[in-house]
Amino acid sequence: MMFGRRQFVIVVLYLVTFVPLCQTQTPTEAGSAQRKDDAASSSTTLNKAIPTPTLLTIVTVTGQPLDVSMAPASVSVIDDDQVRNTHALTSNDIMRSVPFVNLEQNGSAGSLSTLTIRGGKPSLVLMLIDGIPVNDLTSLLGGAFDFSVLLTHDVERVEVVRGPLSSGYGSEAMSGVINVITKPTKYESDVSAGMETGSFGAAGMNLGAEGSQGRFGYKLSGAFLRVGEQVEADSFYTSTFSAASDYTQRSDSDLSWTVRWIQFQGSSFPPNGGGPELSVLRIPGTSNSGNFLAGFIFQRQFSTVWRAGIDADVFTRGEHSYTPPILDSPNPSLFSQPSALARTRFTRPRLSLQNVFNLAPKWQGHFNVQGSDEIGDNNSIIDNSYSSRFRANRGAVNGSGDLVYITNRMTGMAALGINKTAGFKAQVAPRVGAALTVAKNTIVKASWGQAYRVPDLYALENPSVGNPNLLPEKVTGMDGGVQRRFGNNFTLSGTYYYNVFSNLIDFSSAAFRLVNRTRVRNEGVEAEASLSLAHGIQVKAWGSSLNWKIESSSEPLRDEPDWQAGFSLDAKLPKQIRASSTTLWMARRYDFQLPAPTIDSVGGYSATDLILGYDGFRRIGVFARVDNLFNRRFHEYLGFPNPGISCLVGVTYHLR
């Protein structure tokens, strides 16, 4: 389905007529410069070239700190205060409440959890941790990131950019980019500890230490979380350890490094298998994975005009998984799926040369060259008898550059990225965007771009369904919107977007392999309002719509709701008490479960979470979190029931 002409005209008239009604006036000059310990400085990009002009910034658009309201893109930022006060244990709990993204959890906590942006597939979203891509191109997921494995104990902020971004980030950044930025080294000695316990046998612990020795700063942290059975055969365990440091040799140069290990082990019913309610065989799937990432960056200011750096990083992921047979009925037909026992390994080392040029007080340019190697190994046993194995190794070279114009009233940028991956023609991705203050407290934004995704190693090399003749998936997208602030307390924004996806990779049952055949056009509206009241009360509401049309196919766009909405309330109460609540509404969406071929959709739902925290003690804080407060039983996927209400309580301690 697509918008009719009437709805399209209404949106355009809104964007065109809303702004001229406001009186033109130069805005008040923004605030102080960026501190060294700001979260943006922990990004692996060269973001120290110029000071940031405001308290809330984003670095994922251009690689330098930009005021969120003046960033030439559609962005959302979950800052340190929001992350800390959600008391979320996994990134699922954070991403679920981010406006305008769709988190899809295949059952209970710990089950496969992927994220989509503006109707694109989960594999079209690039996931970064401290600027390092962590999408696995070797497994069956085809590059989609599982958010259930990532704990949040040391997350500083989350930046979400919606729209095509291959101009700066290469392949996989088709629908958007998510950059999880961890807490930076702050050169203040501290030891922290936390413990949590709750429903379904949930138990967690985290430890952290940081400090400095002269010009050398360090940070160590570790955490684990275990949750028992929630509905049926759906327990999991995840742990992580990280270390980071930086060293300032002299005023014009510095270096830093980070390493992280993530271990995950869990069981749940497999996707499209009907879940605990519809599965013919009562056998859960299992997964055991280990993820390692490390990064090193050296930066030097050679002159007032030129700053350069060398950035080296590596990501590797290994997984051992078992997927049981998925039967369509007690008397299975040819449409049933056999079991699969898989061992996979994906490794991607990268080396980048980054340059920042301060061309003039209002002009800045970035030019980056990057080489990477993608190494994949997949060894699968199908139906306990047939071996399906491949090994692949391909190199890629990326070149990207942009020109950014920044004033108090305007941010504009033009960017171009070029990628050459072994076995494919060069891919070109242009992008332009602008944010302009057209009247007092009124900002207009618009962007246009093209992006691509080179087929993942699984789609190309898998001997069962792979196709070495696949072409890169592509998208052309645009968006435009208005943000208006009324006084100091109320902000209203609206954005219209339009995307055309082509050459999307899909499975052909006739050819029994993956093929390029799908072309999708979608569009929608994103609206958000925020209100600040007395006594530290913050109210926010948001909603979005998605309309789509799949060409050359009679099948619907699955797993994507036509609309979704959210409402949050955050209050800083007296005596160091913090209370917040978030309610989400999700529309009905198309679904597919093999044991129920005649049911093609799953009902919408709503869920409310409540969080209470107390920081009145000198070094100790306590909190309580209740998910699904009203115990509404709902299904995100057909046959996969939500476990109902769950509670979590915890305590944190800081030595400093």
- How does pLDDT run across 532-553, given as a tens digit for each residue? 998 789 999 999 999 999 887 7
- What pLDDT, on a 0 to 100 scale, did the predictor assign at position 58? 86
CA 161 to chain centre: 9
How many residues can be counted in the chain? 656
Report in angstroms the alpha-carbon separations of 52 from 39, 40, 41, 301, 641: 12, 10, 11, 18, 46
Question: Is 570 within 8 Å of 585 (Cβ atoms)?
Answer: no
pLDDT digits (tens, 9 = 90+) for 558-581: 899 999 999 999 999 888 899 999
Q: Domains of the chain by range and CATH?
A: 5-654 (2.40.170.20)
Q: Is the dihedral of CA 41, 45, 50, 52 positive or negative?
A: negative
Report in angstroms the alpha-carbon separations of 579 from 135, 514, 613: 35, 49, 6
* Strand ranges in 454-509 using DSSP code E only, listed in sequence order: 473-486, 490-508
- What pLDDT, on a 0 to 100 scale, did the predictor assign at position 88? 87
Q: Which two tokens stand for residue 227?
A: 């949750």
Which pLDDT band holds residue 31 (cuts at 50, 70, 90)? very low
CA atoms within 13 A on the CB side of 210: 21
pLDDT digits (tens, 9 = 90+) for 479-515: 999 999 999 899 999 999 999 999 999 888 777 889 9
DSSP state of 56: S
Q: Which two tokens stand for residue 87?
A: 């008391």
Distance of alpha carbon 325 from alpha carbon 51, whole angstroms: 56
Q: What is the mean pLDDT of residues 38-48?
A: 38
Which pLDDT band holds residue 136 (cuts at 50, 70, 90)? very high
Helices (H), 18-118: 80-86, 91-95
Report in angstroms the alpha-carbon separations of 551 from 240, 366, 517: 43, 38, 9
- What pLDDT, on a 0 to 100 scale, did the predictor assign at position 187? 66
Distance of alpha carbon 188 from alpha carbon 166, whole angstroms: 38
Three-state DSSP class for residue 214? coil
Longest dimension (CA), the chain: 74
> One-letter amino acid identity for 118?
R
Strand partners, 428: 418
Distance of alpha carbon 105 from alpha carbon 641, whole angstroms: 11
- What pLDDT, on a 0 to 100 scale, did the predictor assign at position 164? 96
Residue matched to tokens 């997927």:
323
> One-letter amino acid identity for 603?
G
CA 540 to chain centre: 21
Q: What is the mean pLDDT of the chain?
A: 89
> One-letter amino acid identity for 40?
A
Q: Which two tokens stand for residue 540?
A: 């926010």
Distance of alpha carbon 303 from alpha carbon 122, whole angstroms: 42
Residue in 592, 508, 642 with CA at minimum distance from that of residue 272: 592
DSSP state of 27: P
Residue matched to tokens 């059975």:
229
Q: Does residue 419 carry a pLDDT above 90? A: yes
Residue in 466, 474, 532 with CA at minimum distance from that of residue 503: 474
> One-letter amino acid identity for 45?
T
Question: Is 448 within 8 Å of 477 (Cβ atoms)?
Answer: yes
Phi and psi at residue 460, to the nearest 5°: -85, -40
DSSP state of 201: G
**Percent with pLDDT over 70 in the chain:** 91
Residue in 257, 268, 262 with CA at minimum distance from that of residue 312: 257
Distance of alpha carbon 133 from alpha carbon 427, whole angstroms: 19
Q: Is the dihedral of CA 120, 122, 126, 129 positive or negative?
A: positive
Distance of alpha carbon 508 from alpha carbon 428, whole angstroms: 28
Enumerate residues 6+ apart whose C-beta is below 8 A from 496.
Answer: 11, 12, 15, 479, 480, 481, 523, 524, 525
pLDDT digits (tens, 9 = 90+) for 303-332: 999 999 999 999 999 999 999 999 999 998
Three-state DSSP class for residue 109? coil
Distance of alpha carbon 510 from alpha carbon 164, whole angstroms: 32
Q: Does residue 34 carry a pLDDT above 70? A: no
Strand partners, 613: 578, 623
Which pLDDT band holds residue 55 (cuts at 50, 70, 90)? low
Beta strand 190-198 with 646-654 is antiparallel
- What pLDDT, on a 0 to 100 scale, did the predictor assign at position 240? 96
- What pLDDT, on a 0 to 100 scale, did the predictor assign at position 27? 34
- What pLDDT, on a 0 to 100 scale, did the predictor assign at position 38? 37
Cα angle 444, 498, 490 (rounded to 5 degrees) comes to 35
- What pLDDT, on a 0 to 100 scale, did the predictor assign at position 33? 31
Residue 102 host element (H or E): strand 102-105
Distance of alpha carbon 117 from alpha carbon 133, whole angstroms: 17
